Every structure is written in C-alpha cells, then in structure tokens.
Amino acid sequence: MISSLHQTHFTLGFSPCPNDTFMFDAMVHGKIDTEGLTFDAVLEDVETLNRNAESGLLDISKVSFAAFTHLTDKYQLLNAGAALGNGVGPLVVSLNESVDFENHQIKIAIPGKNTTANFLFSLFFPKAKNKVEMVFSEIENAVLSGGVDAGVIIHENRFTYAQKGLWKLYDLGELWEKQTGQPIPLGGIVVKKIFDPAIKEKIDRIVRRSVEFAFANPASSRSYVKQHSQEMEAHVMQQHIDTYVNDFSIDLGDKGREAINTLFEKSISAGMVSYMPAAIFAAPSVSNFKTKDFHL
C-alpha cells in the first residue's frame, strides 16, 4: 500500500456514453464538494478502458465487470457509479430471424473480448468461437452490411437496432436473470488497490455525491452529455440514461454485490478465471462482504 493521503489529483476514466457523462459531470466540473480532490477525465470506449486498466494506467476507471475479474491484483470496486440492473443486458442481433451458433463458421461481432457482453455471450454460447472485435458503435453496420452474421450490441444500440431492420435473437441479460435470479452487472468503477483506504473511501463518497447531484439536477449535465454523444437523438440519450443509471449507481447494496459475486462464480465455473479474492470492494464497510476466497 502506498500513502496517497496527500495526493489531491487523480486520473478518472469513463466512457463518452450518456450514462457516464451524466454521472460524472458534477464530479469533473466541480459542481459538488470534492473534498479537495480534482479529477482529470479520460474518456474512452469501454474496451479501451478495460485494456488501460490491465496496465494500471488510470487511478480510477469504469471497467466491465467481466474485465474486473482479471484486475483484482490492481484494483478494487467502489460502491457508486455502477451500471447494473434488470432489463439492461446486451442483445444479440442479426439480419436473419435465427442463427445457428453451433456452426463454427458463423461470424459474430463483439464489443471487445474483455466486456461483460462477450462474457455473457461466451457463457451461453460457448461453441461460438468465430468472433470479431470492434468498437461497439460499429457493430450494427457490420451486421447490416453482411460483414458478420450476428452482433452483440450494447449501450444506445439496443434502442436503434429494430428501426434499422435487425432482429433480436437473444437478450443476454434476460438469459442471465432467468438462470441466476440476479440483476446483470455490466460495468463498475474501480480504484487502485494500493491507495490508502481513507482516500478510496473519500473517492467513493465523491462518486456517490456526483450521481446523486445528477439525479437531483438532470438538466445540469445536459450540455456535457450532448457534447460527447455525437449525433445521438435527444430521446435516445435520455433512454440511455434511464436504462443504465439507477439506484445501483448510487450504491451497489448487498443485492448488487451478490450479483457481482455470482458473476465471479460463473467465471470460475466456466474456467474463465481461477480465483476471486475475498476483499474485492474498496469500502471498509463491505470489504469483507464475502469472507471466503473462491478458487477453481
């Protein structure tokens, strides 16, 4: 552990998607009490954030929960800022009404190998190995052009695929919920494990404060959200926020933490990871939420 008690400036990675810009606007732009801390925002797509976290490049970052299963040596999870819930899972879409994923020739576009979307697809369709990684926003067009046979879509694409003529084959979140009875953990906020516990707790408070401010003042972040949403229509931006920002974003709570533990257990059972340390959460009050380690 290093002493970070006197560190006041931190790098903070999150995506340019509306849910993240909505949540972090107040924190980045000093609209709330940041308890003397400042944050240098680094906006990247989620798979780039996952890869950056592998190298420990950022102090604090949004990552896919599936990626986090490989990052527990470097990072711990905060309780605030997560994307987790019911009816929010990735979708598998195609130009055809059905696709045989037992056929090894079928080509599937995924939004990155480390994403929770790919984890879920691999969990439910383990024989589908012919995958093509691409930025999530390119997947719809890849399916429409016939470059791939199917695609796993995330974020705002779940609101636009139908009007573009694509079929929903599977809702991976729905499959997860039926199998586990848990909400689906998509992405969470991690902080470097080596930081002093008091600093990690302070950062967690600030993230929560930022999310609460966003809920209480939805118009305040509108220009920041729009700035990073490219040509997204206003109603799609709002659908995105309404879908991915909820009570779990304020605090995971026991239900959210249990869902994350379930994802770890599924990862271990499927041979995707071999170990889950007990203290994966940064906050002292929940660091021992699961008191035993899990091993393959």
Q: Catalytic positions, please? A: 155
Read off the DSSP letter of residue 228.
Answer: T
State the burial class of residue 222 (Cβ atoms within 10 Å of its Cβ: 0-12, 13-18, 19+).
Answer: middle
SS (H, E, C) 57-74: CCCEEEEEHHHHCCCCCC
Q: Find the DSSP H helices in the chain.
A: 18-28, 46-54, 65-68, 116-124, 139-144, 172-180, 197-216, 222-227, 234-244, 247-250, 253-269
C-alpha span between 288 and 212 (Å, rounded): 26
**Contact indicator for 200, 231 with CB cutoff of 8 Å:** no
Name the packing angle between helices 253-269 and 172-180 (round to 10°): 100
C-alpha span between 55 and 52 (Å, rounded): 5
